[in-house]
Structure formats: structure tokens, C-alpha cells
């Protein structure tokens, strides 16, 4: 996520671990293949807000680290 600038998009390839947290992400509809867009970052390397389909979600950077992403634009 650190490499992705605000406003650009990426595709979720897979999750690097399988626990209740990544299960919750999938329940939110962030299943592999989903395209997400980075909307904004909070100050001091704080949480990020992403958009996917018609939903938005706030995540902490260390939690996004469990997503393997492929930048697409």
C-alpha cells in the first residue's frame, strides 16, 4: 500500500495469511480479484481509506499489509 499513491488503483491478488481478520475483509467483499482505489491517507502514516465497487472502508496500514496487491493504474 505504501507504494500506491493516493488516487490510484490496485487489484487484490491474494491474502498472505488466513485468519479472522482476513475473513472479515472477505466478508466486506474484498475478495481476491477485487479492484480497490486508495482514496486518502490519514496524517502520520495513519489509517487509509479505500474504495471498491460502491463501498468504502478504512484500514490500518499494518492490516493492509496482509493483502498482496498489483497496481493497475
Partner 1 sequence: MPPTAVNTSTKHTAPNLTVALVGAPNCGKSTIFNALTGLRQKVGNFPGVTVEPKRGDAHIDKTTTHLVDLPGMYSLLPKTPDEALSIAVLHGQHEKLPMPEAVIFVMEGTNLEKSLFLYAQFAALNIPTVVAVTMIDSIKASGGVFDDITMEHALGVPVIGIVGHRGIGLEELREHLALRGFSRPEARQNHIPTDGNIEAQHEWARNLASEVARIPELDSLTTKLDAFFLHPVGGPLIFLAVMLLFFQAIFVYATPMMDAIEAGFGALQSLAEAALPAGIIQDFVSRGVIAGVGAVIVFLPQILILTLFITLLEDFGYLARGAFLVDRIMGVFGLQGRSFIPLLSSFACAIPGIMSARIIASEKDRLTTILIAPLMTCSARLPVYVLLITAFIPSATLGGVVSVQGLILMGLYALGALSGLIAAKILKSTIFQGSKLPFLMELPPYRFPTWSSVLITLFNRTKQFLTSAGTTILALSIILWALGAFPRHTPPVGANSTQIASLQLEHSALGTIGKTLEPIFAPIGFDWKVTIGVLGSFAAREVFVSVMGQVYSVDISESDENLRTVLRSAISLPTALSILVFYVYALQCMSTIAVMKRETGSWKYPAIAFVYTLALAYSASLLVFRLAT
Residue 31: C-alpha distances to residues 14, 21, 70 (Å): 8, 13, 14
Residue 59 touching partner 1 (CB under 8 A): yes
Q: Which of residues 1-40 bind partner 1 (CB under 8 A)?
A: 20-21, 23-29, 31, 39-40
At closest approach, how far in Å is the CB of 10 from partner 1? 18
CA dihedral sign, ordered 5, 9, 36, 19: negative
Q: Round to whole Å and give the CA distance between 30 and 58.
A: 12
Residue 64 touching partner 1 (CB under 8 A): no
Residues engaged in binding partner 1 (CB under 8 A): 20-21, 23-29, 31, 39-40, 42-47, 49, 51, 53-60, 63
Amino acid at each position: 500500500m505504501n507504494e500506491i499513491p493516493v488516487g490510484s488503483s490496485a487489484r487484490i491478488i491474494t491474502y498472505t495469511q488466513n485468519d479472522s481478520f482476513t475473513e472479515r475483509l472477505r466478508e466486506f467483499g474484498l475478495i481476491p480479484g477485487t479492484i480497490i482505489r486508495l482514496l486518502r491517507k490519514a496524517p502520520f502514516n495513519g489509517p487509509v481509506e479505500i474504495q471498491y465497487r460502491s463501498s468504502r472502508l478504512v484500514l490500518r496500514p499494518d492490516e493492509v499489509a496482509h493483502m498482496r496487491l498489483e497496481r493497475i493504474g
